[in-house]
Amino acid sequence: MPVQKLKKFLDNNKVKYTVCSHSPAFTAQEIAAKVHIPGDAFAKTVMIKIDQKFAMAVLPASYNVDFELLKELIGSKDIRLAHESEFKDIFPNCEVGAMPPFGNLWDLGVFVAESLTKNEEIAFNAGSHSEIMKMDYKDFEKHTNPVKLKYSFK
């Protein structure tokens, strides 16, 4: 079952979504392959630290974050990949590394890669390493209000 905080939020906002179960997988590319979704349409959530504050970088599974470019785009002095031990307590009902890309539910900024915005539908981890959610990208954007930037590469 998807993380309850997200499910309740989506249900309260009357957002349509589907939940799919799969055998456990731990990388976004591996999950995308298991559920037969192109890597460009599977949204991975990368936890980052920007000037000592946590945020989410949300990008296609087949892409990587260009930290120098992101730093330049947002005018940050310091940006880096966050370590799992640093953020695991922020998401108490999620398996580490399987948090959904709804940073707004945890008071976190969300930076979505421009390449992900081209999809009609996206899929993402639903709080566990064995479930995903699928929904229209426009609903994701409407309910997370992410900052859209071109900061990733294949």
Give the pLDDT of residue 152.
94
On whether the CB atoms of residues 126 and 43 are closer than 8 A, the answer is no
Residue 2 has pLDDT above 80, yes or no: no
The predicted structure's pLDDT at residue 105: 96
* Whether 39 contacts 24, CB under 8 Å: no
Mean pLDDT for 21-43 is: 94
pLDDT of residue 1: 59
- In the chain, the percentage of residues whose pLDDT exceeds 70 is 99
pLDDT recorded at residue 134: 97
Q: How many domains does the chain have?
A: 1
Domain hosting residue 64, numbered range: 4-153
**CATH number for 28:** 3.90.960.10
Mean pLDDT computed over 106-114: 97
pLDDT value at residue 3:
87
Has residue 18 got a pLDDT over 80?
yes
The torsion of the CA quartet 40, 44, 50, 54, rounded to 10 degrees, works out to 160
Q: Average pLDDT, whole number, for the chain?
A: 95
- Structure pTM? 0.96
Residue ranges of E strands in the chain: 18-21, 42-50, 53-60, 64-65, 79-81, 109-113, 121-125, 131-136, 147-149, 152-153
Is 33 strand, coil or helix?
helix
